[in-house]
Amino acid sequence: MRVKRGIVRKRKHNKYRKAAKGYRDRRGTCFKLSKDAVEKALVYAYRDRKVKKREFRRLWITRINAAARLFDLSYSKFMRGLSLAKVELDRKSLADIAMNNPESFAKIAEKAKGALASS
């Protein structure tokens, strides 16, 4: 018996067309083009979820470095001082403190400096 796949194929095509809504020209309307465009977009989305984490870590390190240099410490010396002082704050928290609460960051920097001096 012959199988034509009428409704199944239509649903599959509509799924891709719906995902491609807003795409320009025939990429949003033609199945073949929208399928390629949607699959490529999904590849970019997967990749960029990883890239986003890298970029935020770079931003946090830059902010911590800028704040640490106000206290005559480089980023690496500051982080070494924190590990010697047994301060367990992640980079995200440190960057937030450096931006929004400079008084607290000054105390943390002094702690790191003291730990470096005593070692």
As a whole number, the mean pLDDT across the chain is 95
Cα angle for residues 117, 118, 119 (degrees, 5° grid): 95
Instruction: State the pLDDT at residue 39.
Output: 97
Q: State the Cα–Cα distance between residues 16 and 5, nearest whole angstrom.
A: 17
pTM value > 0.85? no
- Model confidence at 101: pLDDT above 80: yes
Q: Burial level of 103, CB count in 10 A (0-12/13-18/19+)?
A: exposed
Report pLDDT for 59.
98
pLDDT higher than threshold 90 for residue 6: no
- pLDDT, mean of residues 83-112: 96
| Cα 67 from Cα 95, distance rounded (Å) | 9
Per-residue model confidence (pLDDT) at position 70: 96
CATH 1.10.1040.10 correct for 6-118: no
pLDDT at position 5 is 80
